[in-house]
Amino acid sequence: MSEDPLPRRFGPYHLFDKIGEGGMARLYLGHRKTDLGGERLVVVKQVLPMLADSDEFCRLLTQEAKLAARLSHRNIAQVVDLGREDDVLYIAMEYVEGFDLRDLLRACSKKQLPLPVQYALLIAVEMLRGLDYAHKKQDDSGEALGIVHRDVSPSNVLISFEGDVKLCDFGIALAFGAEAFLPEAGVQGKAGYMSPEAAVGAPIDERSDIFSAGVILWELLNGRRLYRGEDRQAPTLEMAAAAVIPALRHRGYPLEEELHAIVMRALAKDRDQRFPSAAEMRAELEAYVRESSLFASPLKFGQWLTEHFADEILARRRAREVAAKAIAAGPLVKLTVSGAPPPVAATPAPAMPPAPAMPPAPAMPPAPAMPPAPAMAVTAAMAAAAAPMPPAPSMGAAASQPAIDAARAVPRELGERASPALGFHSTISRPPLVAWFAAAALLVMLVVIALLSR
């Protein structure tokens, strides 16, 4: 699957930013126009061809994604579409603007900022709420669907800038986990959060997810990985199968023994010794939160994120909005006129006076997951005036700058509207700040010339 420049059309979507790539899929941020003319931001997860070429893999993925699409819960990233386009198999899902837990922990350690325990507990409680809903989901005739996530791990726990916690990639691991298709590195990467029964390939049920949630909570409380491979290698399947769980370190939290007992029960090697359901584990954690007064709400968590990661939030929004502006002016229309010269790259932005330095990132109020267009436009105009663009933070493997570069390189073919993100030659009625700035400079020059020529 070649990487065509962005923005580009893909089925019903306009892809404008690449947000991640793993061994199995490539993720793009895009939007889709709704019937009523609205726009919906989505993540389009394109399965890499080595997997999508397998009929068995496609069958499994389709089956699982269809189940996942039935899940509708505030702690689960909503699957909105599943399809095949240009021979590329894809899943489209709700975009959760924020961090995944793996990246949040990395960002915390880079800043030497410990994640407060009340937020670790909040993440666990919210994650378990989503798991419980999925585990209990029934079909229309009241039959349990038997949904198991199978890959509860930090990269699949999304945390929005508002402090919401959402699981993604429900059940998809079943297809990805079909051994014949999975690259070795992929298996290893997953072993760190696998239940012992999953590691030996035994049949699993919801208690496997409870074990994985237990690993995440153990790591959040201990501030380190549970399983450590030799020489800093990734944990192995053997480690996961052995499930040797070191005792948690004492940190001086109130009633700490109670908390440790909950975590260790979730991590019992024998699944009959674990919590029988995510609901029961959550109830015990919530009881602990009450008794220890370690309360937190998504609102408070969002405020904490904003306080400590305002730069990242602002940088990411700027990058995304500038990328989005490449297509904001309307659909890209490709018209070819016979004998016309070959398409040229977008006109480079005219030499501009230095943009005014941006003030330090203000503490940003939490924004809705899908910001309304006007708010986006205002910030995008600010972003267009600010140069240079800060690199996007580490949400996915790829930063957003390439997307912006790609956006700038969109061919300006005959009939295509100039996009404000491609330079400052927009035809929209409200010119960007720099245009005003340039006009003012020109005016001053004319006045000076007039005065001098007197």
Which string of DSSP letters, residue by residue, matches 46-111?
EEPHHHHT-HHHHHHHHHHHHHHHT---TTBPPEEEEEEETTEEEEEEE---EEEHHHHHHHHHHT
Q: CB under 5 to 8 A by kind: which of ligand ATP, Mg ion, none does 422 bind?
A: none
Residue among 156 and 306 whose Cβ is closer to ligand ATP: 156
Burial profile 294-333: b = 16 or more Cβ within 10 angstroms, e = fewer: bebebeebbbbbbeebbebbbbbbbbbbbbbbbbbbeebe
Nearest CA-CA partner of 331 in 29, 30, 80, 26: 30
Residue 332 and residue 319: Cα distance in Å, rounded? 20
Told to check if 169 binds ligand ATP by CB under 6 A, we report: yes
# residues near ligand ATP by CB under 6 A: 22
- Dig out the tokens for 195 from the structure: 């239940």
Mask: binding to Mg ion, 132-161, rule CB under 5 A, as x and -? Answer: ------------------------x-----
Integer-rounded Cα radius of gyration of the chain: 25
Question: Residue 82: beta bridge partners?
Answer: 91
Query: Which alpha helices (H) appear in 293-333, and where do they start and end?
Result: 298-328
Residue among 397 and 428 whose Cβ is closer to ligand ATP: 397
Q: How far is the CB of 100 from Mg ion (least distance, A)?
A: 8
Which residue out of 151, 164, 169, 209 is catalytically annotated?
Answer: 151
Q: Which stretch binds ligand ATP (CB under 6 A): 7-15, 46-54, 81-89, 148-156?
A: 148-156
Told to check if 174 binds ligand ATP by CB under 6 A, we report: no
First vs last C-alpha separation in the chain = 66
Q: Is 281 exposed, middle or buried (0-12, 13-18, 19+ CB in 10 A)?
A: buried
Residues with Cβ within 8 Å of residue 350, at least 6 apart in sequence: 423, 424, 425, 438
Q: CB under 5 to 8 A by kind: which of ligand ATP, Mg ion, none does 77 bind?
A: ligand ATP
Told to check if 169 binds Mg ion by CB under 5 A, we report: yes
Which residue among 27, 76, 216, 421 contacts ligand ATP (CB under 6 A)?
27
Told to check if 151 binds ligand ATP by CB under 6 A, we report: yes
DSSP β-ladder status, 13-21 and 79-85: unpaired
Q: CB under 5 to 8 A by kind: which of Mg ion, ligand ATP, none does 24 bind?
A: ligand ATP
Told to check if 416 binds Mg ion by CB under 5 A, we report: no
Told to check if 379 binds Mg ion by CB under 5 A, we report: no
Told to check if 212 binds Mg ion by CB under 5 A, we report: no
Look up residue 406 and give its DSSP letter. Answer: H
In Å, what is the CA distance from 162 to each residue of 181, 305, 386? 37, 8, 25
Contact 35, 69 (CB under 8 A): no
Which residue among 52, 165, 168, 383 contacts ligand ATP (CB under 6 A)?
168
Residues numbered 394 to 433 that lie near ligand ATP (CB under 6 A) are: 395-396
Residue 229 and residue 185: Cα distance in Å, rounded? 14
Told to check if 64 binds ligand ATP by CB under 6 A, we report: no
Q: How far is the CB of 155 from Mg ion (least distance, A)?
A: 5
Tell me, yes or no, if 139 is annotated catalytic: no
Q: CB under 5 to 8 A by kind: which of Mg ion, ligand ATP, none does 100 bind?
A: ligand ATP
Q: CB under 5 to 8 A by kind: which of ligand ATP, Mg ion, none does 312 bind?
A: none
Q: How far is the CB of 260 from ligand ATP (least distance, A)?
A: 27
Q: CB under 5 to 8 A by kind: which of ligand ATP, Mg ion, none does 25 bind?
A: ligand ATP
Told to check if 156 binds ligand ATP by CB under 6 A, we report: yes
Told to check if 96 binds ligand ATP by CB under 6 A, we report: yes
The helix or strand, by DSSP H or E, that contains position 157, with its residue range, turns out to be: strand 157-160
Told to check if 100 binds ligand ATP by CB under 6 A, we report: yes
Residues classed as catalytic: 151
Footprint of ligand ATP (CB under 6 A):
19-20, 22, 24-25, 27, 43, 77, 93-96, 100, 151, 153, 155-156, 158, 168-169, 395-396
Footprint of Mg ion (CB under 5 A):
156, 169
